[in-house]
Amino acid sequence: MPLSCLKTAVFPSLGIATALAQIPDSCHDWAVKKCHLWLLGLSGSGKSTLGPLLANRLGLPFVDTDQRITEVAGCSIPEIFKNGGEPRFRQLESLIVSEVSKLQPAVVSCGAGVVLDPINREIMSTHGIRIYLQASLPVLAKRLSRANDRPLLSSGPLLPQLQAQWEKRRNGYEESELMISVNDGTPDQILGRILEKLSDV
């Protein structure tokens, strides 16, 4: 069945969850055979939430690069930053991106700064489809207001920190093959947007 089956199976007159449930299993085949789906975006954009949902819907493995980094390093991300700083973290991140690119197709939730390295961007472009989960900075700041596990976001005002990060990373994000608005909607609704966009790739 062609990729368009994804699009035609999601009927706008139905609830998103109901519509997604009606996508034929054969639609999953394209993803298994095609390539990785790299989820990109600033902290708070929902990569770790949407990644498992998308992977489950498409019948693909799910990989969280931050989780793989902690497994390889044998310690938490804050500990990596404490002992080796951001350069050590980025080194491990690039190692994981390269490693994952050689494995079977998967949905991959990437760290927010993965696009800073041009080699990472080239690998992701060559070995898959980059999906930029795009949210406004005020929305992200609100979502992250209670987070305390982001080493590159200090305890100060979040909005200027996010602005600075976005300015450094925006070009890498905006190279993505797909850009999905995540300012509003439930995870199921956003998942529906991603599937519709993928049907056009």
The domain spans of the chain are 4-198
Whole-number pLDDT of residue 64: 98
Measured distance CA(118)–CA(192) in Å, rounded: 30
Q: 154 and 98 in contact (C-beta within 8 Å)? A: no
Cβ neighbourhood burial of 137 (10 Å; 0-12, 13-18, 19+): middle
Write the CATH number of the domain with boundaries 4-198: 3.40.50.300
pLDDT tens digits for range 14-48? 333 433 344 444 444 444 447 899 999 999 999 99
How much is the pTM? Answer: 0.83
Over the stretch 121-149, which tens digit does the pLDDT of each residue have?
A: 999 999 999 999 999 999 999 998 877 66
Cα distances (Å, whole numbers) of residue 1 to 19, 62, 68, 100, 133: 18, 24, 34, 28, 27
